[in-house]
């Protein structure tokens, strides 16, 4: 991302029917608590098309803040869900449909950094953003990620600059705290970790 600890950061979390709840809500909690502590960032839940309600993988219903086109995000967080079961709603369905990967590619071309949580990394893959680059995803989709050209890394979080990916569902917390530490400041990240009573887990791989 190359932002450093100075400047405002606008974070958009993309949600869609069938997204895995914690993939999105975990990072949202981290970034929302950070937003309460500092004026350096904002976070919102965004859809591709205008929707009044989105239903997640396990039935959670949310009202999104608006569409992704209504903001100019510095970072787009992409959850997974439903990939390994090839569900009719979720990351697999959205990858096959193609609209979200196309939108992610456009946003990346416009300068937004990307963060894939769990099989949200596969949506980044379908957008052409992980080919030839270090990345990770949910254990059940690792072979898919590798077959689509990524250099799979055995780590909890993989930082390749403008594309950051995380492993399974709870790894979204580690990704969000890592991004906070890197791009907003270690003090804010530490304060958020204390506030949510969460100690980071696993290795962070940072590409050269």
Q: Which residues are catalytic?
A: 118
Q: Give the number of residues written for the chain.
A: 208
Q: How far apart are CA 6 and CA 40, in angstroms?
A: 8
Beta bridge partners of 44: 12
Q: Do residues 6 and 38 lie in contact, with contact meaning Cβ atoms separated by under 8 Å?
A: no
Query: Residue 139: which of 160, 100, 114, 169 has the closest Cα?
Result: 169
CA distances to 78, 106, 130 from 101, in Å:
10, 9, 12
Q: Tell me the helices (H) and strands (E) count for the chain, helix number first.
A: 7, 12
- Residues whose CB is less than 8 angstroms from the CB of residue 110 and which lie 6 or more positions away in sequence, other chains included: 72
Q: How far apart are CA 65 and CA 70, in angstroms?
A: 10
CA distances to 3, 114, 120, 142, 184 from 111, in Å:
12, 10, 19, 27, 18
């Amino acid at each position: 991302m190359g932002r450093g600890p100075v400047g405002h950061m606008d974070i958009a979390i993309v949600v869609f029917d069938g997204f895995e709840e914690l993939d999105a809500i975990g990072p949202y909690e981290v970034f929302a608590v950070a937003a309460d502590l500092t004026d350096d960032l904002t976070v919102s839940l965004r859809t591709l098309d205008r929707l009044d309600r989105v239903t997640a993988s396990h039935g959670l219903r949310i009202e999104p803040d608006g569409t992704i086109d209504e903001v100019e995000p510095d970072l787009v967080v992409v959850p997974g869900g439903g990939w390994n079961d090839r569900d009719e709603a979720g990351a697999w369905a959205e990858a096959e449909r193609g609209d979200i990967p196309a939108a992610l590619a456009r946003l990346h071309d416009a300068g937004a950094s990307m963060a894939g949580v769990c099989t949200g990394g596969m949506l980044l893959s379908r957008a052409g953003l992980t080919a030839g680059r270090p990345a990770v995803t949910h254990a059940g989709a690792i072979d898919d990620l590798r077959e689509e050209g990524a250099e799979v890394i055995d780590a909890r979080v993989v930082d390749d600059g403008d594309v950051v990916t995380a492993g399974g569902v709870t790894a979204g917390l580690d990704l969000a705290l890592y991004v906070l530490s890197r791009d907003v400041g270690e003090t804010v990240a530490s304060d958020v970790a204390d506030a949510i009573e969460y100690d980071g887990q696993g290795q962070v791989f940072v590409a050269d």
